[in-house]
């Protein structure tokens, strides 16, 4: 299909790729008959004949970058500098936008990795195996879209578990909590041992820092226990962020930077800003991961103030 625009009336692709054939050689779709006088209308005749084309995916059609399936869209997310929320910082702060994954979360990566790994080991087979995962969050969403694209049936259970279920849950969820910092930390330090890796946990449930578990509002972190997949050897520091600070920072990231992010992204941004204000970090680059998109938290405390404001609105007389 040709795309027309005002500046370029006909944008074309070679006929051999589009499934068209013509009696004349070349790439023009139209064969205008010559007008014998200026000012007369020019008539156009089509000499193009439609032919059958292969339904097999073609990843290289005249340089077009088209993924063969949705799993190929995972990763290679962009980075962007934060410019307005970083007032008073002496270091540069850049955000890794995992909110731009196919299903808007860093857990898209692990959803694909878990299924691909099980396939390679011969544990599961598309169309035959049924996948079960104890999660109601972004891990479940990441698994769901990969399972759908590969032909698996997936059953998701609520992630609220008691003390007896914690160990099995951690085993089944390879990287729900702390997997990102462990994996990223190992890779970065293998490239540059001087890189500092900093983790974040809720101030209200600061287990890693030696505190006690407790309720908090930062979804996605602070499970109340230390998962076995957390490698503290690669973590240089852990910063505590309160729920209120995480929520407020997430709001400010949206208002000042135009990035609609989730509560855990707000916590990460708050910690990154603290680090970027340290004098010893002047001129350095602080990279923060924004794990998930804010639209997913419309029913959470992140948008509670907006909901309250809307509920109080009265129709004008």
User: Has 107 been annotated as catalytic?
Assistant: yes
Among residues 71, 264, 265, 292, the one annotated as catalytic is: 264
pLDDT digits (tens, 9 = 90+) for 51-73: 555 556 555 566 788 999 999 99
> Closest by alpha carbon to 268, among 99, 100, 139, 142?
99
Q: Using CA atoms, how far apart are residues 106 and 99, in angstroms rounded to an integer?
A: 7
pLDDT of amino acid 252: 97
User: Has 251 been annotated as catalytic?
Assistant: no
What distance separates the 2 farthest-apart alpha carbons in the chain?
Answer: 90
> Closest by alpha carbon to 104, among 65, 132, 145?
145
> Closest by alpha carbon to 251, among 85, 101, 137, 96?
85
Question: Which of 56-65, 76-85, 141-150 shows the lowest per-residue confidence on average (mean pLDDT)?
Answer: 56-65
Lookup result for tokens 């050897």 = 233
Among residues 107, 150, 217, 251, the one annotated as catalytic is: 107
Which CATH number, 3.40.50.1100, 3.40.190.10, 3.40.50.300, 3.30.360.10, labels domain 75-307?
3.40.50.1100
pLDDT of amino acid 264: 94
pLDDT of amino acid 135: 79
pLDDT of amino acid 220: 85
Q: Using CA atoms, how far apart are residues 219 and 176, in angstroms rounded to an integer?
A: 11
Whole-structure pTM value: 0.73
């Amino acid at each position: 299909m040709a795309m027309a625009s005002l500046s370029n009336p006909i944008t074309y692709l070679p006929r051999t790729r589009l499934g068209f054939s013509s009696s004349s050689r070349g790439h023009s779709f139209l064969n205008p008959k010559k007008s014998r006088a200026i000012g007369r209308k020019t008539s156009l005749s089509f000499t193009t004949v439609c032919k059958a084309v292969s339904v097999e995916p073609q990843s290289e059609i005249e340089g077009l970058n088209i993924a063969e399936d949705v799993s190929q869209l995972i990763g290679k997310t962009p980075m962007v500098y934060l410019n307005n929320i970083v007032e008073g910082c002496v270091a540069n702060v850049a955000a890794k936008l995992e909110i731009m994954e196919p299903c808007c979360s860093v857990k898209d990566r692990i959803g694909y990795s878990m299924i691909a790994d099980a396939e390679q080991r011969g544990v599961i087979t598309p169309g035959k195996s049924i996948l079960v995962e104890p999660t109601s969050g972004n891990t479940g969403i990441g698994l769901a879209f990969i399972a759908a694209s590969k032909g698996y049936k997936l059953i998701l259970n609520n992630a609220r578990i008691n003390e007896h279920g914690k160990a099995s849950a951690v085993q089944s969820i390879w990287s729900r909590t702390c997997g990102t910092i462990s994996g990223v930390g190992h890779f970065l330090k293998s490239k540059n041992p001087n890189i500092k890796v900093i983790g974040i946990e809720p101030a209200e449930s600061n287990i890693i820092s030696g505190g006690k578990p407790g309720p908090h509002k930062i979804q996605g972190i602070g499970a109340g226990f230390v998962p076995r997949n957390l490698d503290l050897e690669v973590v240089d520091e852990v910063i505590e962020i309160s729920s209120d600070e995480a929520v407020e920072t997430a709001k400010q990231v949206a208002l000042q930077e135009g990035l609609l992010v989730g509560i855990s992204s707000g916590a990460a941004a708050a910690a990154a800003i603290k680090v970027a204000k340290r004098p010893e970090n002047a001129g350095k680059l602080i990279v923060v991961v924004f794990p998930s998109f804010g639209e997913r938290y419309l029913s959470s405390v992140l948008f509670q103030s907006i909901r309250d404001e809307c509920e109080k609105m009265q129709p004008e007389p």
